[in-house]
Amino acid sequence: MSALHLIVDGPIAEIRLDNPAKLNAFTTDMLAAIEPHCAMIEKDPAIRAVVISAEDAKAFCAGADIIAWSELGPWDFARHWVREGHRLFDRVARLSKPTVAAIGGQAFGGGLEFAATADIRVMAPKATLALPEASVGIVPGWSGTQRLIRLLGEPVVKEMALFGRRISAERAHALGFAAELADDPRAKAFELAEALATKSPCAIEVAKYMIHAAAGEDRSAMIEALGAGMIGPTADREEGVTAFREKRKPDFPGK
């Protein structure tokens, strides 16, 4: 049975891909598990960092299960599989907690797009990245032509999406996509997550908002979240809410 597990151990949560029979390819059930896992992570203040990993160290994720999406009609494929998958991957990318992906083997198609949602990526020296969608007559649908442009650059993504060329871990590291190379990427990812868990969670969350706003990752929401954070502790906000409850005209102190 394929699954997407959420395992919480102290301040670290792990989102683990588990579909080894198909190289951890995403199924509909695995996609459906993303939303509740993210909601649980956000609601638990004890969780300080998240590791994204795979059950099979040889393959992080081969992409989307072709059997799952090939049976869909054109409308359902576009509207549900692609659009919903894109929304769910965005949900992971915009978690307020820092995320570290451990890429032990191939990360192809949707698997690469899922790895791209992480804040930091660790790759095994022999791991590879690819966008092979053109070989089966489709195009990347879960941010491969969007988020990956910011992380790898337009020429590299074109090389991958148009020619199907694979990117080695060494090249991914040189391009900045992988923060580190490690023989045991999962262990290294946990080491980094544990270090992140010792930092100020408020500072890390705000830093993520600022960086995402600069990078164009849901910029409008990030800017408004930062603005709300600034106005939240003001005396003006307190006076406005109090006046509303007391049904009177507010007298803002400007503080």
Marked catalytic residue, from 55, 84, 113, 239: 113
113 is an active site residue = yes
Picking from 140, 114, 116, the residue whose alpha carbon sits closest to that of residue 215 is 116
Per annotation, catalytic residue among 35, 133, 205, 239: 133
Q: Are 120 and 101 in contact (CB under 8 A)?
A: yes
Give yes or no: 159 in active site.
no
CA distance 195 to 84: 33
Residue whose C-alpha is closest to residue 123's, from 62, 186, 175, 61: 186
Phi-psi region of 216 (alpha: psi -120 to 50; beta: other; left: phi over 0): left
SS3 of residue 118 by DSSP: coil
Q: How many CB atoms lie within 10 A of CB 159?
A: 16
Supply angle C-alpha 194, 197, 200, rounded to 5.
Answer: 150
Tell which residue, 130, 206, 192, has the closest CA to residue 161.
130
Q: Just list the catalytic residues.
A: 113, 133
